Amino acid sequence: MGKKIMLQGTASNVGKSILTAGLCRIFKQDGYSVAPFKSQNMALNSFITKEGLEMGRAQVFQAEACGIEPIADMNPVLLKPSGNHRCQVIVRGKVRDDISSSEYHDYKPILAKELKTIFNQFSENYDVVVMEGAGSTAEINLREHDIANMGMAEIADAPVIIVGDIDRGGVFASLAGTMLLLSEEERKRVKGVIINKFRGRKELLYDGIKMLEEIIKVPVLGVVPYSDIKIEDEDSVTTRFKTKMKKSDIHIEIIRTPHMSNFTDFNIFETQEDVSIRYVDYVETLSNPDMIILPGSKSTIDDLKYIRESGLEEQIKDLQKKGKLVFGICGGYQMLGKKLKDPYHVEGEIEEIDGIGLLDIETTFEKEKTTTQVNATICKNLNGYLANLSGMKVKGYEIHMGISDIGKEVYNLNEINNKLGEDVSYLEGSVNKEGNVVGTYLHGIFDEIDFTRALLNNIREEKGLERIDTKVTSFEAFKQNEYDKLADLLREHLDIEKIYKIMEEHEEEI
């Protein structure tokens, strides 16, 4: 069994996932085989592995930082909120149950036994495992049966570093208070703390750091500055939803529904200099975007009602009539159809509801979830914004409960030619005859930079702008460069030598 280290936080969204990815990259650069591990993750953003198993997206980008393929055991328990204080419980990539929060709390002891076996088997394959906690480590009301933070650290017998976010204020109090609320045994496991997201002059912190170390009796291992490194952020409390629009040639607006999932589908647009994006909420209206995106959803019918009641549905229809591009992914694709049917009450009591009606499709929700990775080719003879994309290669993953039947007024978008590593041949997705309404089940389709850049260039051409050379760096190459930038940042501002020493000394104690 290799070395291990666990990052826990004083709260959610303090930067644990990013720091975990950074440490993963550093250990990889130093020649170790390394992998991420998060025992329990609660998120609507998920990913499908090559085996067709579902896992949280944070461990996917952390695996990328390690230079390895993501597997479900990196995130053995994934919780997907489904409303009314219930959640879907996914264990080792497969749906196990849909239960209430109180039922899940009682279920944790069973999961704890499974996690011990999973972690022991998992960690044998790597020199270093970088573990990540969930939320706050000091949730004393949830201490009993904890499997996410100190409970998992105990299962794995891992040393812990606690991360605090100075950007939100009160970082000294949050770190000291967290240590105060831990039990004596838990405090012994904490070997240091990190102050994250600092803006300003570091020397102004020195006196505070010294006093903090005297209070908590463990060292501050570094102060990491706020950075603009473009790495996935799966937390719904994210600054990208509040980012002000920049001036650009192409403007994209994404409908931010209450149950929006997999908004990481749109990260690639942030890497394109001629593109600005804006997330549109309930109290807001669409401006005059060149492209409107309806994202995936964990509760498609509820989110469709939200779009309807907010007035956004009529705005989307008006913009489509003016020739703007409307693009739906997964649940957003289903909403664009004529009907959504739920005969088995998968999503609730509503058995049938009219869709937005921009695509000639009808969707029926099934009891079983589709989870698969696919490769595809854009179909021929498409019009409008898809006119010159025929034959382009795309790939992605599907996570959905519905099956969509297409009518005579639409063309298919893709021909699927590989599914979970096996050659297949079937059609997927829909495009209206005018070529300005597109729907697909493929999460990650925009990550194919040649496809996305060609689509953006078609928008530019429609606006009378010159096309931009499509010979651009792949999104994968862009991300790898960002992981290296993150590693450089952490090497500069963290005591990496001390972190190595913490892992080695703990291994010697075992």
Q: Is the domain of 336 the same as that of 428?
A: yes
Q: Is the domain of 344 the same as that of 426?
A: yes
CATH number of the domain encompassing residue 31? 3.40.50.300
Which pLDDT value is given to residue 508? 75
Dihedral Cα 153, 154, 155, 156, nearest 10 deg: 50
Residue 236's pLDDT band (cuts 50, 70, 90) = very low
Strands (E), 185-290: 190-198, 220-225, 250-255, 260-261, 275-280
pLDDT in tens, 11-23: 999 999 999 999 9
C-alpha triplet 21, 26, 31: angle, nearest 5°: 125
Which pLDDT value is given to residue 152? 97
Q: Is the domain of 412 the same as that of 447?
A: yes
Which pLDDT value is given to residue 201? 85
Give the Cβ contact number of residue 470 at 10 Å. Answer: 13
Which pLDDT value is given to residue 14? 95
Domain range for 255: 250-462
pLDDT in tens, 144-185: 899 999 999 999 999 999 999 999 999 999 999 999 999 999
Does residue 470 sit within a domain?
Answer: no
Would you say how long the chain is, in residues?
510
Give the phi and the psi of residue 148 in degrees, each rounded to 5.
-105, -35
Give the Cβ contact number of residue 228 at 10 Å. Answer: 5
Buried b (16+ CB within 10 A) or exposed e, 424-436: eeeebbbbbeebb
Task: Pull the structure tokens for residue 345.
Answer: 């009450």
Does residue 270 sit within a domain?
Answer: yes
pLDDT in tens, 421-475: 999 999 999 999 999 999 999 999 999 999 999 999 999 999 999 998 755 568 8
% of the chain with per-residue pLDDT over 70? 96
Does residue 88 sit within a domain?
Answer: no
Q: Is the domain of 33 the same as that of 176?
A: yes
pLDDT in tens, 93-131: 999 988 998 899 899 999 999 999 999 999 999 999 999
CATH number of the domain encompassing residue 341? 3.40.50.880
Which pLDDT value is given to residue 496? 98
Q: Give CA separation, 434 vs 323, 383, 409, 419, 431, in Å.
A: 9, 6, 10, 29, 8
Give yes or no for residue 329 having a pLDDT over 50.
yes
Residue 239's pLDDT band (cuts 50, 70, 90) = low
Question: Up-side HSE of residue 20: CA atoms within 13 Å toward CB?
Answer: 33
Which pLDDT value is given to residue 242? 60
Which positions are catalytic?
Answer: 330, 443
Which pLDDT value is given to residue 92? 96
Which pLDDT value is given to residue 282? 76
Q: Is the domain of 285 the same as that of 406?
A: yes
Does residue 349 sit within a domain?
Answer: yes
User: Can you give the pTM of this predicted structure?
Assistant: 0.89
Q: Is the domain of 226 the same as that of 296?
A: no
- Structurally, the chain folds into a number of domains equal to 2
Give yes or no for residue 362 having a pLDDT over 90.
yes
Q: Is the domain of 447 the same as that of 491?
A: no
